Amino acid sequence: MLQLESILPKIPSTNTLLITNTHKPDARNKSVKLLLEYAQVQEFPLIPQWQTQALIQQARTLADEVGVTLTTDAYTVLIDYTGNNTRLIFTELEKLKTYALGKTVNGDMVKELVSESAANSLVRFVVILYKVIT
């Protein structure tokens, strides 16, 4: 703790410390309190799979970064197949860009090139089952 107290004030403000954690840090912890004194916290929460519109918006942003154009149905299929896995979405968009050669990607192209995740199939099954039951 003493080492951390002496080091933190000396770190230039232009440096970035990236801490990844599956849980939010406990703000009652002394070292966390100390880090928060010197740091700006920025969280990157995972979008839940059932928030399809938010996932589609995220995919649109990533597609702009990659430089590929998709139709509305292509975004829907892409999110159906990849869920909330941002890294997978990005990778699949790169693949679609290479395949499309500057053309707009449609839903059929996504179905042809993107592998459907087994986890997403289960989620869709549960959602469909829920809709049938209610």
Task: Kindly report, residue by residue over 15-59, the tens digit of the pLDDT.
Answer: 887 777 777 888 888 888 888 888 877 777 889 888 999 999 999
Provide the 3-class DSSP secondary structure of residue 19: coil
Tens digits of residue pLDDT in 83-112: 999 999 999 999 999 999 999 999 999 999
Count: domains in the chain? 2
Q: Is 120 domain-assigned? A: yes
Residue 129: CB atoms within 10 A of its CB come to: 10
The domain of 26 spans 2-38
Q: Is 45 domain-assigned? A: no
* Mean pLDDT to the nearest integer, 71-78: 97
Q: What is this structure's pTM?
A: 0.65
Residue (of 103, 46, 50) closest to 74 by Cα position = 103
Q: Is 6 domain-assigned? A: yes
Residues 26, 73, single domain; the answer is no
Q: Is 46 domain-assigned? A: no
Q: Is 111 domain-assigned? A: yes
Q: Is 110 domain-assigned? A: yes
Predicted local distance difference test score (pLDDT) of residue 38: 82
What CATH number does the domain containing 124 carry? 1.10.8.60
SS (H, E, C) 104-131: CECHHHHHHHCCCCHHHHHHHHHHHHHH
pLDDT at 6 over 90: no
